[in-house]
Structures are given as structure tokens and as C-alpha cells.
Amino acid sequence: MSTILKGAPVVAAMNEANAARCAALREKGVVPTLAVVRVGAREDDLSYEKGVMARCAKVGVEVKQFLLPADAAQEELLRVMAGINADAAIHGCLLFRPLPKQFDDRTIRAALSPEKDIDGITDGSLAGVFTNTAVGYPPCTAQACLEILKFYNIPLSGRRAVVVGRSLVVGKPAAMMLDRENATVTLCNSRTQNLPEVCREADVVVVAMGRMGFIGAEHLRAGQVVVDVGIHVNEEGRLCGDVRFGEAEPVVDAITPVPGGVGTVTTSVLVSHVVEAAEKSV
Amino acid sequence: MSTILKGAPVVAAMNEANAARCAALREKGVVPTLAVVRVGAREDDLSYEKGVMARCAKVGVEVKQFLLPADAAQEELLRVMAGINADAAIHGCLLFRPLPKQFDDRTIRAALSPEKDIDGITDGSLAGVFTNTAVGYPPCTAQACLEILKFYNIPLSGRRAVVVGRSLVVGKPAAMMLDRENATVTLCNSRTQNLPEVCREADVVVVAMGRMGFIGAEHLRAGQVVVDVGIHVNEEGRLCGDVRFGEAEPVVDAITPVPGGVGTVTTSVLVSHVVEAAEKSV
């Protein structure tokens, strides 16, 4: 029987802290404000947006929506971004991606001021994660993994961490953030040989492959802590992760569930970045 | 008996390629040009500068020196950098660091255009290494490790690489560049437990600790390739690396010597970046 590292208590603690910081800012006349920029109306985006807006409302962050039609021109979006950069009353910007085909992702990302980049999409933010300096903000899902590990007091310094998956939104930044905590970090990719053996070397395994149920008992051993970033809908229509929870849970010391784990913490991280950006603006 | 991965043949091959590319550029009327910016006259800087200038002269890269007194003001250096950015006839800029105390390193680094940052010091270059995109240039010493491994056809894809040391000039960028080659990379730091055991897991060990003779037989096993980035002067006044060469050489399959290894390749990498920047300017 392992400990289930639920997201809910992490979220509750973060909400409480964010609400207190928002209140303090509002007393100084600063209303922490997030710009949400959405092109079109993809199902995924709408659902995430709804979650973000609810979380913001709960802690006292204002949201301004900037909605463009799916066939908007790049110039229009660049004008919106420039307006957001120039507006001192907006502290952070969430831009939904991937964008429709007519947009050049690189150009759009470069158009955002790193200090408003609360979702970690600019070169400034990514360089900040890589170099461990306070430029921009790390990608929220990567930070959510670390928030969970810290909330549950999982030791990291000197421990071995294995990160499976090397995306720029989770794997690589999570590896850098684990290194920052003085873990010895191994970054695995789809060419990694003997993945089960490599995973079993770890004290902490962060799984961010985007492959449903890929990691099971053969990759795991007693004493480990597993963070499952994957989120999929299985044949029975139920949410599940990259880890076969039923196999993993009896083996390891602690594991994040799906749903109710990393995913739930992500929006709280996003909101905390907006609050931090507002604090820096004072 | 292991193979000694000497830098000289790597340098010879790179010089030949760089010279041919310079000749092609000069035929088009483009003279590949490097700006060397030095504040004061530190022994280390002078010696590296001499090596860079000789290497440039050999392959046909022009060098413009910008020399400031050790007590120069930050404003003066920023003016020099702005001039270099604006000068279309200059393709790359090498700035000697660390700078004297009156300079803010971050401000100075941010003042350089990433496209002229042939030494990998800007956020743009570091984000480029981290995200594997063609922004700026990776730090030269990190790339020198990879150039040696590639020249000697050391397989990397699917292999395990351990990088010991996590500096921004070598360890971290080398880890990212090994990941780019699809190696499974482990990044070690001073808190790493059981370092000998971790090192022995690797097929390729890159040692960039800056600690003379720290790595010896206990960290190594047959079949490994060792890249030693360290450079120190021992009690007898001889150059040596982070690896105890005499112990390592009989054990492993292949190893870079110190001197005559990574260090010799670094300036060729720098020059190749200037040539590439000049090619991009056409």
C-alpha cells in the first residue's frame, strides 16, 4: 500500500497562499490581472480556460479575455500581444497553443514580454529554467510536479530522479527543476535502452511520455515515488495516466493519481505566477 | 590500452572545413569577421585570445579587437557592444568574462545580439541549446566535447551518458547536446551519492567538475569513453585534467588527453561559429 499523493491538498494550500497575496496586493491598489488569449474555440482550450477562470475568481485574480476567430491573421494576434505587453494593468498572459496553421509559433512566442510569460513559453522563460535565474516563469505542468514533491516533503537533494519524456513543456524543464533541487537527474527518451532498469535506479520517477499505461510494475520497485504527468481517456472512457496505476500502487512508496494529481495543480501554479508577476510590478 | 581521442585530428578537419567555407564567403565579397572584446589584461584572457587569433588567421577569419581598460565603466562597454551589434561587417563577438566587478554580467550579456553570440553567453543561445532550436550558438567547450565524440564515431543514440558537473559553460549544455543525439543523459552534481557507481553506468562519461584528478579507476570500467574537460596545473607544473589519466587509460576503451584534448578543439568551434554567422548574414 503506497501513499497517494493527491493534488487536492496541494491546491488548497496554494489557493490559500495565493488568496492572501492577492488581498495584500489589492490593499495596495494592485489588482492581479491575467490576460487569456484564445484563437478559435478548441474543446481542450475551452475546458482549461474554464478551470483557470474559476481558480482565478476564487483567489482574487482578474481575468481579461482576448478572443480571436480561428481564421484570424498573424498581424491581428501580434497587435493583441503588443497591447498586452504595453498594458501595465495586465500582469500575466496565457496564450492557448498550438495555434492554427496560419501562425508562426516562434514569432508569436517571441512577441510576449518574458515578465508577463506566466506559462513559460518564451525563450526568456526557457533560458531562465535552464540557467536557474529569475527570468520569466517555468512551464506550469513541470512546476506542478515539483510543487507536489515539495508539499509532500519528498527528499530530492542527492537522490536520483529519472524523467521519462523530454518535451519542452514538461520533461526537460522538470529535469532542470529537479537538478536545481540537487537531485541527480537522468533524462530518458524514446531511444533509451533498458528503460525498466533505468527507471528502477530512481528514487523519484517523473513520467511524462504521453503514452497511456506505458509504465508498469517492471519499471518500478519498492521505495520509489512516482509522479504521473500523463492524461488519457481509456477504452472504458475513464481518465488514466502514463503509469498503470493498479500495478504501480502496490509496489512503490508513493504515487500521484490520474485524475486528481499533477493536472489539478497546474492551474494553481499558473495563478501563483500571475500573483508573483503582480508583486514584481509594484 | 585505450584509444587516445586526441584533439589534433579533430582540429585539422575543422580547420580545413572552416578554411574552405571562408574562401567561399570571400569569393562572394564577405569577410568573416570576429570582434574580440577584452576589458583589462588578465593572463588567461590574453592566452586564449592569442590562440583564437592564430586560429582565425589560419582559416581566413578577420579579427577586430576592442580593448578597454580594467577600470572602464559599464556604459563604455555597452556602447562597444551596441556598435558591434550594429556593424553588419562583424559576424560574431567574443567577450572575455568574468568581467571586473563594476560590470553587471547579466546586463552585459543581454546587450549582445544572439545572432552574433558565437560563444553562447546570451539567454537566446542558452534557450537555443535547451530547446534544440537554431537560436544563437552553444557554449564552445560543450560543443567541443560533442565534436570529438562525433569525429571518432562514438555511438550516442540510445547509449547512456553521464555528465559530471553542471556549469552553464560545459555541463548543462553538454547534457542537452547529448540528449539531442538521443543519448540517455544523467547530470551529476556535488551532492550526487555513489558517484563512482553512477559513472560506471555510463557508456560515455563527460567530466567537467573543475577538480583536479577527482575521477579515477573506481569511477570507470571497460568499454567506456571518457571526455575530460578539466584543465589544471599540478604540483610538478604539468597540465592535467579532472581525470587521473594514468589510472583511467588502462581501464576504459577511449579517453581524451589533457593537454591535447577538448581544450584544443574549443577555438575551432568558436571559429566555426563565426563562419556560420557570416554564412547566415549573406
Domain boundaries, chain A: 28-119, 140-263
- Below-50 pLDDT ranges, chain B: none
- Measure the CA–CA gap between A211 and A229, rounded to whole angstroms: 10
Cα gap B103→B68, rounded to integer Å:
13
Q: Determine contact, residues B230/B211, Cβ cutoff 8 Å.
A: yes
Q: Tell me which fold the domain A28-119 belongs to.
A: Rossmann fold (3.40.50)
Give A56's pLDDT tier (boundaries 50, 70, 90): very high
B166 contacts chain A (CB < 8 A): yes
Do residues B158 and B190 make contact, with C-beta atoms less than 8 angstroms apart? no
Q: What is the CATH number of domain A140-263?
A: 3.40.50.720
Closest CA to B55 of B109, B94, B90, B2: B94
Closest CA–CA distance from residue B6 to any residue of chain A (Å): 29
Q: Is B153 touching A (CB cutoff 8 A)?
A: no
Q: How far apart are CA A198 and CA A187, in angstroms?
A: 10
Q: What is the SS3 string spanning B215-276?
A: ECHHHCCCCCEEEECCCEECCCCCEECCECHHHHCCCCCEECCCCCCHHHHHHHHHHHHHHH
| Chain B, nearest residue to A136 by Cα | B123
Mean pLDDT of A252-256: 98
The reported pLDDT for the residue numbered B228 is 98
Residue B140: phi, psi to the nearest 5? -65, -40
| Inter-residue contact A123 to B134 (CB < 8 Å) | no
- Cβ-based neighbour number of residue A101 at 10 Å: 6
- Given an 8 Å threshold on Cβ–Cβ distance, is A175 in contact with B187? yes
Q: Residue B235 burial (CB < 10 Å; 0-12/13-18/19+)?
A: exposed
Query: Cβ neighbours of residue B245 under 8 Å, at least 6 residues apart?
Result: B228, B255, B257, B258
Q: What is the mean pLDDT of residues A195-214?
A: 98
- Mean per-residue pLDDT of chain A: 97
Binding residues of B for NADP(+): 165-167, 231
**Of B135, B188, B201, which is closest to A123 when you measure between CB atoms?**
B135
User: Same CATH fold, A140-263 and A28-119?
Assistant: yes
Residues in chain B with CB shorter than 8 Å from the CB of A191 are: 157-158, 182, 184
A198 and A192 Cβ atoms separated by less than 8 Å: yes
What residues pair up with A188 in beta bridges, in sequence order? A164
In chain A, the DSSP E strands lie at: 3-4, 33-39, 62-68, 92-95, 160-164, 184-188, 204-207, 225-228, 232-233, 239-240, 254-255
Task: Point out the residue among B106, B160, B192 whose CB comes nearest to the CB of A184.
Answer: B192
Average confidence (pLDDT) over A158-170: 97
Whose cell is 503582480? That residue is: A278
pLDDT digits (tens, 9 = 90+) for A11-28: 999 999 999 999 999 999
Q: What's the angle, vertex CA B199, arms to CA B193 and CA B205, rounded to 5?
A: 135
Mapping DSSP to helix (H, G, I), strand (E, B) and coil, where does residue A65 land? strand
Q: How many CB atoms lie within 10 A of CB B98?
A: 11
- Residue A159, chain B, CB below 8 Å: the answer is yes
Say whether residue B110 is in contact with chain A using an 8 A CB cutoff: no
Please give the CATH topology (third level) of the domain spanning B28-114.
Rossmann fold (3.40.50)
Is the pLDDT score of A109 beyond 90? yes
CA atoms lying within 13 Å on the CB side of residue A275: 25
Of B126, B184, B189, Cβ closest to residue A130: B126
> What confidence category does residue A134 fall into, taking pLDDT thresholds of 50, 70 and 90?
confident
Asked if omega into B98 is within 30° of 0 (cis), the reply is yes
pLDDT category of residue A10 using cuts at 50, 70 and 90 = very high
Check B184 against A182: CB less than 8 A apart: no
Q: What is the pLDDT of residue B238?
A: 96
How many Å apart are CA A144 and CA A260, to the nearest integer? Answer: 12
Write out the three cell numbers for A114. 518574458
Q: How many residue pairs bridge chain A and chain B with CB atoms within 8 Å of each other?
A: 90
Residue B229 · residue B145 · CB < 8 Å: yes
The pLDDT of residue A107 is 94
Report the residue of B105, B182, B184 to disrupt the A interface, i.e. the one with the largest count of A CBs within 10 Å.
Answer: B184
Chain A residues touching residue B130 (CB < 8 angstroms): 126-127, 129-130, 168, 172, 176
Interface test with B, best of A109, A112, A130 (most B CBs within 10 A): A130
pLDDT at A40 over 90: yes
Residue B1 pLDDT: 72
DSSP code for A209? -
Give the strand pairing for B184-188 and B160-164: parallel
- Tell me what pLDDT residue A123 has: 87
Which amino acid, one-letter code, is at A9?
Answer: P
- Between CA B141 and CA A187 the distance in angstroms is 22
A167 has binding-site annotation: yes
Q: Assess whether pLDDT exceeds 80 at residue A223.
A: yes
Residue A71 DSSP SS3: coil
- With an 8 Å Cβ cutoff, are B184 and A189 in contact? yes
The one-letter amino acid at A271: V
Instruction: Report whether A25 contacts A278 (CB < 8 A).
Output: yes
- B159/A193 Cβ within 8 A: yes
Say which residues have a Cβ less than 8 Å from residue B156's Cβ, sequence separation at least 6.
B149, B178, B181, B182, B183, B204
Per cent of chain A over pLDDT 90 is 97
What confidence score (pLDDT) does residue B249 get?
A: 97
**Best of A168, A181, A185, A190 to mutate (most B CBs within 10 Å, chain B):** A185
The verdict on A157 touching B (C-beta cutoff 8 Å) is: yes
Amino acid at B259: P
> Is B126 touching A (CB cutoff 8 A)?
yes
- In the block, cell 493498479 appears at A246
Q: Do B179 and A166 touch (CB under 8 A)?
A: yes
ipTM of the complex: 0.94
Could you tell me if B135 lies within 8 Å of chain A, comparing CB atoms? yes
List CB contacts (< 8 A) between A160 and chain B: 193, 198
Q: Do A135 and B123 touch (CB under 8 A)?
A: yes
Query: What pLDDT, on a 0 to 100 scale, did the predictor assign at position B180?
Result: 97
Distance CA B134, CA A78 (A): 22
| ∠ CA B35-B40-B44, rounded to 5° | 80
CA-nearest of B192, B195, B265 to B228 is B265
Give contacts of A126 with chain B, Cβ < 8 Å: 127, 130-131
Computed from CA positions of residues B248, B254, B260, B261, in that sequence, does the dihedral angle turn out positive or negative? negative
> Residues A238, A113: contact at Cβ < 8 Å?
no
